[in-house]
Chain A
């Protein structure tokens, strides 16, 4: 299978809480990226973390990468209603292909 795994598949939290999504992949990567997709729309690039990096921040987003465990996590702090979307990790392999995980559907409750 092309895809890595993400968990949870779906997540509902109250507005203001933090949301954590995890992603695992299978083989060595150049980098890992996280994307957001609102229902029926295109992809929005959130953050890229390289294989030699362990943590990266962008606004309310924090991404970690553990290459020994072949896993990454995306933390969204102080969630907002507008954060409701599907979130995908995408792994960049040495042949330039970007392979997407199965995604986490995040729903922020008012």
Chain B
């Protein structure tokens, strides 16, 4: 069964609104979760590492004020795309690491009109 869930699976919003994506660990307690973004026909790009109880670590080129990450509990990390614009339309995927294995969520497709 699924180890990581994401909600919503897809969302359509108007430009300028903020969108929150939830990533839940179902079977494990995840002190660290990862957020990826995937544009059409491209690969997954790591955006940030979400650390439970502390600030997220962002990859170079990712705006931390634009993509707010909160990891308030061991089973939940959230990514908020603030003031979304059409160029933020993408597939967002979270993952958690358990030992050597990375478990990925099913992804959230964001479309900004």
Contact = CB atoms under 8 A, between A and B. Distances in A.
A2 B102 contact: no
A42 B107 contact: yes
Contacts of B109: 40
A88 B59 CA distance: 20
A61 interface: no
A79 B12 CA distance: 37
A47 B11 CA distance: 31
Contacts of B41: 105
Contacts of B49: 96-97
B67 interface: no
A28 to B, nearest CB: 16
Interface string B14-53: 0000000000000000001010100001111110010000
B107 A103 contact: no
Contacts of A19: none
Given A96-B32, A97-B34, A48 B46 contact: no
A103 B44 CA distance: 9
Contacts, number: 55
A102 B102 CA distance: 18
Given A42-B105, A42-B107, A43-B93, A98 B100 contact: no
Interface in B76-105: 91, 93, 95, 97, 100-102, 104-105
Interface in A74-110: 88, 90, 92, 96-103, 105
B4 to A, nearest CB: 9
B106 interface: yes
Given A97-B49, A98-B95, A98-B102, 20 more contacts: A3-B43, A40-B91, A42-B93, A45-B101, A45-B102, A45-B104, A48-B100, A48-B101, A50-B100, A88-B44, A92-B100, A92-B102, A96-B97, A97-B34, A98-B34, A98-B46, A100-B36, A101-B43, A102-B42, A103-B43
Interface of B: 32, 34, 36, 41-46, 49, 59, 91, 93, 95, 97, 100-102, 104-107, 109
